[in-house]
A and B are shown apart, each in its own frame.
Chain A
Amino acid sequence: MTEGGINGFSSPRADVFPAGLRVLVVDDDPTWLKILEKMLKKCSYEVTTCGLAIEALDLLRERKDGFDIVISDVNMPDMDGFKLLEHVGLEMDLPVIMMSVDGETSRVMRGVQHGACDYLLKPIRMKELRNIWQHVYRKKIHEVRDTESHDGLEEILMMRNVSEQSDDGYLLCGGDMTPGKKRKDAEHKYDDKDFADHSSIKKARVVWTVDLHQKFVKAVNHIGFEKVGPKKILDLMNVPWLTRENVASHLQKYRLYLTRLQKDDLKTSSSGLKHPDFSPRDAAGGDRTDHLKMQQNEAVNSYRPPSNLLLQNANSRIHEVDLKGTASLQKIEPKKVLTGFAAKSHKASCSNVGMSHSFGSTQYSTYNSVLPTQYSWNEGFTEIQFKQERNPQFQVENGFADLGLPPLQQHNQLNLQPLQPIANGLFGKERDKQAKSSSGTKSSFGSYSLPSQNLMPSFQPPDPSFQPPDPVTSSTWSLKDDQQTSTDNLELTAFLLQGQNCPSTNLDMQNKGMLEDNDPGFIAEVPPNLYDALRFDYEFPDSLEYPVIDQGLFIV
């Protein structure tokens, strides 16, 4: 099985893929560790075991590119499994599978939100382990497509060849590469020459160290989130060996990360909003914006690559509004609040939504206006989630949702309470718990009872053409500062880890992250229409422009 090497410092053997897959297993239970090792060896994988999370991280750092996938238990004594998950995603960008004897939906949800590519329940079956290679393969494919890097191409091609030659049923036939490659070419306009050059050279994967990332964030902040673009960032960063592609893919992850971060913050701060229904992608969007803001304030440490849209919207809004966080929001300056809120709350709420995609784009344009209609569904989405708890200060019935900006909670703190409709079944528990920890103010959103279930399916993938606005560098998301600082470093790494499933993680972020006590969680409840808009295709902001103000969204 171990074609690669004896001491673990092997390189992947794509030609015999998936045999030789280099797996790192992390579990504090020695019995399970031994069993898993044996099981993985039986799958012809190359196994390394670790009893502690810190040990695992050290190992991963030491052997850059020494592993293909990580499997970790959720409950580790020295570090929360989810934190490890984030770190791995950020720093090493490896797929991580979580394991636990506990299959509670909320836990699984958290795993997914933090970026786990799978969540296995103990006792684990051989057949489940046999298939883990799919996560490695999938990631490679996505990387090639999304990051414009050719690094993975060779490997994927090799894997592809293997599959075609192999008799094994479970090997994939690698038809994927071609379309991916084509798409990439089309989208990124690689000329043949470039491509050829790249493919002949196997580039080393860029490791986004803390320093590099700091430079990145500084550049982003300097340029201004709305205007940020890989080229500009690259120029500012002044790192000779870095390519535009590297920056582009990192920027994308960053955005998702911020979104996710937002969600997490919201989650931890307020009641744990879990939005199981949120499709991962959607969720990501929302969080991002919020996070983005927050992150910026915080100095980037923990950024989550937000999903494009939401983040962008949020950011732009933030600029406009100059949100001061809760304070301003609370002031009930509708206008201000809105904008600020949009940015902020949006984050909180939106992040989860992740609906950004179309929403984002359309929304964006209107973003500047006071009414956060643009946000609409992003915000709304998140709102939906939150709305339950909030006080209907706002009486925002319709407009609000669209805005996506949670109605300014002028009066109260936005409590990001788990969106009831969505959360009811699932998060009832969480919600209760959260409720206790949340700031206690209810957002004043009206009560939108958006059928959470519906929301989920309606999320559409982010509009690829959407150009999310650059995050506001000045972001006023000070709210998060407090929370963030402590986790900054982790966040930073988490961000780097993100690679994986940003979207899914964003959900969490929405409420939690954003609206801390100081942040009046703008979790606007998504008005029913918003919901529909979301559902069906929000593209239009025009249609979503609810006369929020008229509705007294802002509590003046």
Chain B
Amino acid sequence: MGYLDEQFIQLEDLQDDANPNFVEEIVTLFYSDSTRLIRNIETALEKYPFDFCKLDDYMHQFKGSSSSIGAKRVKDECSQFQECCKARNIEGCIGVFRQVKHEHATLKRKLETYFQMGSPEINLLL
């Protein structure tokens, strides 16, 4: 499926008796923090003239954050967005950003299901 990469597995490996809900905590933290990052990008996309440097910077942060939970598809869309920034293609940016948000939301739903259902489901995501 390619929604998640091996970073997610690593998170699972980190989970232990000291932190029995580690993965879920991390995912929750990610989703709450990424709301802020998404908002930054949305705001920057509405501001004219477009500041591609800033857009790239915000996306860089978002990408870094997404890499923390192994959100592969989201990361890929982030990279695409950055390419559009380099090309100063605002329409491209807007279009890709929609994709970014879509992947971000889809993953969230799938992970929520996963946390409710348990381990076996993870294979569907990797």
Contacts and interface: CB of A to CB of B under 8 A. Distances in A.
A30 B32 CA distance: 10
B22 A123 contact: no
Interface in B67-86: 67-70
Contact of A101 (B13, B26, B64): B64
A123 B7 contact: yes
A31 B30 contact: yes
A29 B60 contact: no
B76 to A, nearest CB: 13
Contacts of B33: 29-31
B10 A29 contact: no
The CB with the most chain A CB atoms within 10 A, among B5, B25, B64, B65, is that of B64
A34 B26 contact: yes
Interface string B13-37: 1101001001001100110010000
Contacts, number: 54
Contacts of B30: 31
B89 interface: no
B17 to A, nearest CB: 12
B38 interface: no
Contacts of B68: 29, 31-32, 35, 122-123
Interface of B is mostly: helix
Nearest to B75: A101
A29 B14 contact: no
Interface in A81-128: 100-102, 122-123, 125-126
Nearest to B68: A31
Contacts of A126: 10, 13
Nearest to A41: B18
A232 B61 CA distance: 50
Nearest to B18: A41
A334 B93 CA distance: 54
Given A29-B33, A31-B26, A122 B64 contact: yes
A126 B10 CA distance: 8
B10 A125 contact: yes
Given A123-B70, A125-B10, A29 B64 contact: yes
Given A38-B14, A39-B14, 10 more contacts: A29-B64, A31-B65, A34-B25, A34-B26, A34-B29, A73-B64, A75-B61, A101-B64, A122-B64, A123-B70
Interface of A: 28-32, 34-35, 38-39, 42, 73, 75, 100-102, 122-123, 125-126
Q: Which 7 A-B pairs have the closest CB atoms?
A: A101-B64, A123-B7, A31-B68, A31-B30, A123-B67, A32-B68, A31-B29
25 contacts: A29-B64, A29-B65, A31-B26, A31-B33, A31-B68, A31-B69, A32-B64, A32-B68, A34-B26, A34-B29, A35-B14, A35-B68, A38-B19, A38-B22, A39-B14, A42-B14, A75-B57, A75-B61, A75-B64, A101-B63, A122-B68, A123-B70, A125-B10, A126-B10, A126-B13
